[in-house]
Amino acid sequence: MKPISRHETEIFRLVTLRGSCSIAELAEQLGVSDETVRRHVRPLVDRGQVEKVHGGIVMPDRLREAPMERRMGENRAAKQAIAAAVAERVDDGDTMMLDTGSTTAYVAVALSRKSSLQVVTNSTEIGRILARQRSNKVYLVGGEVGSDQLATFGPQAIDFVRRFNVRHAILSIGGINTDSELMNFGLDEAEFSRAVIRQAASVTVVADHTKFSRRALVKVCDVADIDTFVTDSRPPEAFCRLLARNDASLMIAGPQDSAQ
């Protein structure tokens, strides 16, 4: 199999961030000709990672994450239950990082009852929610803003995160694959989450039950990299066993709250 080129990686990064790109935009970003872009797009199309449209490329529907506004309305009760369970584990004055996601946005709402939090986030929505509490300190990560996520990504965002060490990392994911790897939809999202994991003493992943049947493209981490997994219904038994083997806690939010 032919190795993936640097241009292919950058083209894929840009289209996952923006949802679509024209050939002319990509040529300008990469500093190459339109023909060079087309040559590097071809393998991405052949592998099903992007789709060609007139004058450009788009992410395939099956790999594209829904806009943030729509995801906030999906499985709302489950996400609120997960958020409430996570907030109970956070103390006033805690330090934390939250990545962008609809479930982490609900966590931010639940955390609004806390005080004196120090929060690092790449989500403009989470930053807005938590900055309303005057005793909090909120550090909004800089970088390129994705229109669907309303969040910042890229090298600048990762460099900024490396300046901090926090007690909690609270992360959302896009899906869980058949090998029980935690996945997300874009390279930038996954890279940002991995950077956050490295800066935290404790890593909590939040995911409602639909994530166990959803495909996502890019690996974020293994179960061995997390400390707590919070969901709204019991995961498949194979996943529960994997959590136990890696000494990771399972929290099931809702009326039947339990821990493993």
Contact 192/157 with Cβ under 8 angstroms?
yes
Domain 68-259 fold: Rossmann fold (3.40.50)
- pLDDT score at 257: 47
Write down the H helix ranges in the chain: 6-18, 23-30, 34-46, 68-72, 76-88, 102-111, 124-131, 155-161, 187-198, 237-245
In degrees rounded to 5, what are phi and psi of residue 250? -115, 125
Contact 112/132 with Cβ under 8 angstroms?
yes
Q: In CATH terms, are 6-63 and 68-259 the same topology? A: no
- pLDDT score at 50: 87
pTM of the model: 0.73
Which residues, at least 6 apart from 256, have a Cβ–Cβ distance to it below 8 Å?
none
Residue 1 pLDDT greater than 60, yes or no: no
- pLDDT score at 78: 92
- pLDDT score at 3: 61
CA angle 49, 54, 59 (to 5 degrees): 25
- The CATH number that domain 6-63 falls under is 1.10.10.10
- Burial readout 88-107 (b: 16 or more C-beta within 10 A, e: otherwise): eebeeebbbbbbbbbbbbbb
Tokens coding 220: 């974020």
Tokens coding 35: 């023909």
pLDDT tens-digit series, residues 51-82? 888 888 987 765 555 455 555 556 789 999 99
- pLDDT score at 73: 56
Give the start-to-end residue ranges of the domains of the chain: 6-63, 68-259
pLDDT tens-digit series, residues 114-163? 999 999 999 999 999 999 999 999 999 998 887 666 899 989 999 999 99
Q: Could you tell me which residues are beta bridge partners of residue 153?
A: 144
Closest CA relative to residue 132, chosen from 150, 152, 114, 151: 114
